[in-house]
Amino acid sequence: MDAKPIDAIKREKFKVFENRAYLNSCSQGALADEVRAAYELYLDQLEEFGSLWETWVGIQEDVRGKIARVFSTQSDQVAVTTSASAAVNGVASCFDFRNGPSKVITTSLEFPTIGQIWHAQECNGAEVVHVPADPDNRLSAERIAAAIDEDTAIVSVTHVCYRNGAMNDIKAIVEAAHAKGVPVLVDAYQSTGAVPIDFEDLGADFLVGGVLKYMLSSPGVGFALVNNARTSEFIPTSTGWFAARDIFAMDINAFDPAKDARRFEAGTPSVPSLYAAAAGLEFLLDVGVENAWGVSSRLHDQLRAGINEMGGTCATPEGDGEHGPMLAIATTDEYALVNAMATDNVVVSSRDGNVRVSPHFYNSSEDIEKALASLSKNKHLLAT
The answer for residues whose C-beta is within 8 angstroms of residue 348's C-beta and 6 or more apart is 23, 24, 338, 341, 355, 356, 357, 358, 371
**Residue 1 has what pLDDT?**
44
pLDDT confidence bin for 34, thresholds 50/70/90: very high
Within 10 angstroms of residue 332's Cβ, the number of other Cβ atoms is 12
pLDDT tens per residue, range 341-384: 999 999 999 999 999 999 999 999 999 999 999 999 999 999 98
Residue-by-residue DSSP string for 226-237: E-TTT-TT---S
pLDDT confidence bin for 141, thresholds 50/70/90: very high
Instruction: Report the distance separating Cα 293 and Cα 361, nearest Å.
Output: 7
Domains of the chain (ranges, CATH numbers) = 6-30+288-381 (3.90.1150.10), 38-284 (3.40.640.10)
pLDDT tens per residue, range 280-317: 999 999 999 999 999 999 999 999 999 999 999 999 99
Residue 208 forms beta bridges with which residues? 187, 224
pLDDT tens per residue, range 185-218: 999 999 999 999 999 999 999 999 999 999 999 9
Is residue 6 predicted with pLDDT exceeding 90?
no
- % of the chain residues with pLDDT over 70: 98
Phi-psi region of 250 (alpha: psi -120 to 50; beta: other; left: phi over 0): left
Residue 206 forms beta bridges with which residues? 185, 226
Phi, then psi, of 250 in degrees rounded to 5: 55, 40
Give the CA dihedral 83, 86, 89, 93, nearest 10 degrees: -150
Is residue 4 predicted with pLDDT exceeding 70?
no
